Structure 1
């Protein structure tokens, strides 16, 4: 089954084309810095024999629609294309961030499903609109393919009620569905399974730390999510690229009551102008890292604050799990930023977390163990593969349907 997977992030677009049951993609790619100057497309083709082919293009992409159209041109390119006819794709799997209370599992996309995804835009304003655009463009390019939605919120549907409820009047939950949903579920599910297999412990107590432009953590016991840092929308929890993470609600009241902000301005502030962008003037950790190396004080504070928030959640989730077998770092920052991992893990030896500085600074493919040999808790770097997880779930759903 040929499955094309689209994973639209807040400023990026990842994709892979699979021919399942083989789990090695035929091609993959990443579109970065969408909406910024000098957007970059990196497209890789993996032939059956010979070396992979890599194409890199730098151009201005104002939105996700423009990015996806460039990707589709590469897929059907006369020289490096994998597809001759878009109808060769049998299914398109879409990452959709927010499923609300409506979607607890992978779902075939219908007009009703699209309407519900659109209705949920206010709960994930940076993501669901981009996901929706991906669906609409894919429907045009792959009209014969089955369109499938895989929801970030699904993995966290196992949270106990005392973890997903807010201390608000009952009717706001019962009638409006205001509760913790959690996000990045596809990534947390994938790396938790990889960690459990690596540890040969299906009941492992894990803290998974997904650090990209968006950031979240999950407490996972026996492959089941029991708590997570994001909440009703993907704004709560950790400091992110442009999102504030946890903030005292009194700040919002002050912005509205004393500074004259309206609801839209507050949303724009907390979702698009805060986080690392607000602290350091830049949302890309690679740019902030270079500024830090140059002695920039704002960049230094931003790194310290970013790591401190992660460390606080590690302490909380170790308590929730009543112990800890491993901390797992994943996604773009988690996999590649050694300084973040060092700042997070320092002074956590009382929990049994002892980082090996040399291993932490050394890059290598696959799962990496970066803790000291005597560390009671493993510290793992596991590359996430949300696209493969989405493809697997699409195949499982469509096979069951058949």
Structure 2
């Protein structure tokens, strides 16, 4: 994407507003900030404006091109960056049942920002949109088709801005065109997902209707037998909300090892903790399984790519996740793999038929690029 402009990127959570001002001709943001303990998004946006109006902020608000908004769930309706008007706001609100914790604050931030910047175009960039190119066989669950259709039950996928950015930047680092490159991208943070990318387009991803499906995460279980939910409700007296909290907030690394921070888990495993060692093994085994699955789906793979907090920083996770995959043409180079990576870096051996890269993600920049493209 070669579109030029200056974007204010807003990521509105349940009690916070993260922002960046990005000039696409520069490598680093003009400004970044975080407003916490938000109860009134109108007031929070005014604080953003006040901070950007400070003489030392480095930002001239009058030069802004667009305001880009992260929206978690776009459903089947929104498959590309979308210029926001009242009807788009209404449709985002209708998607609340699919993302009850995320879409309402995203929407509240949009409403407040449109009031604060009425002269600027506003663009919604959806986490789910990159995965809109998945084929029906990838996004359809084997449920009664009428029930699924009535309630919008299908795989949507998440982390789309990250997977899109990393896939494009890795292809560039490899000296290839995205449309000629098959990749498996691994976004490993507190939330984690894998994506099969064929020619720059998502053809499968590990998260599903919600971000709970797929890889083991910081506090989420990832894939489990669905009957576990019914078993717990029937045999323990737990409510559906109790099980929801268990799977989303008390499982994953936290449930297995007592911490959702991979640094703590690796340190405990190296110190001899059996629980931490098992947690690390389960975490990496799940990743390895998805890599194998996506090899089969893609047919041929040019590179496996690690990104996000764990992917960019943990040499242990990268090495263990791809251990034993020599038969698929993956051979790691321990020296190249050592340490944190802050620029796109190849970490596989020269003889590896499939390259392995660590490419730092930049979701805010991707939102800025997509927002400017939408209004250009």
Does the Cα contact within 8 Å between 1:16 and 1:25 map onto a contact in 2?
A: no
Task: Please give the secondary structure, in 2, of the residue aligned with 1:175.
Answer: helix
Task: Please give the secondary structure, in 2, of the residue aligned with 1:116.
Answer: helix
**Does residue 1:245 correspond to 2:249, yes or no?**
no
The number of equivalent residue pairs is: 369
Does the Cα contact within 8 Å between 1:180 and 1:230 map onto a contact in 2?
A: yes
Gaps of 5+ in 1: 32-40, 42-59
Deviations 1:300-330 (Å, cap 9, x if unpaired)?
2222211111010001000111122110001
> Equivalents in 1 of 2:303, 2:203: separation in Å?
15
Which residue of structure 2 aligns with residue 198 of structure 1? Answer: 173
Taking a change above 3 Å as real, the CA distance of residues 321 and 278 of structure 1, as seen in their structure-2 partners, is same
Taking the TM superposition and a 5 Å limit, the aligned residue runs for 1:308-387 are 308-387=285-364
Taking the TM superposition and a 5 Å limit, the aligned residue runs for 1:248-287 are 248-287=225-264
Taking a change above 3 Å as real, the CA distance of residues 336 and 63 of structure 1, as seen in their structure-2 partners, is farther
> Equivalents in 1 of 2:219, 2:152: separation in Å?
26
Gaps of 5+ in 2: none
Does the Cα contact within 8 Å between 2:17 and 2:38 map onto a contact in 1?
A: no
**Does residue 1:82 correspond to 2:58, yes or no?**
yes
> Equivalents in 1 of 2:183, 2:326: separation in Å?
17
**Does residue 1:93 correspond to 2:96, yes or no?**
no
137, 143, 164: which is aligned to 1:162? Answer: 137
TM-score normalised by structure 1 residue count? 0.83
> Equivalents in 2 of 1:381, 1:352: separation in Å?
17
Taking the TM superposition and a 5 Å limit, the aligned residue runs for 1:92-171 are 92-139=67-114, 141-171=116-146
> Equivalents in 2 of 1:342, 1:289: separation in Å?
13
Deviations 1:71-91 (Å, cap 9, x if unpaired)?
66543334x31346x555342
- The 10-residue stretch of structure 1 (239-248 or 4-13) with the greater mean CA deviation from structure 2: 4-13
Taking a change above 3 Å as real, the CA distance of residues 16 and 107 of structure 1, as seen in their structure-2 partners, is same
Q: In the TM superposition, what is the alpha-carbon distance from 1:391 to its structure 2 partner?
A: 1.2
* Greater relative CO (CA pairs within 8 A, separation 6+): 2
TM-score normalised by structure 2 residue count? 0.88
> Equivalents in 2 of 1:304, 1:70: separation in Å?
45
158, 177, 186: which is aligned to 1:183? Answer: 158
278, 285, 303: which is aligned to 1:301? Answer: 278
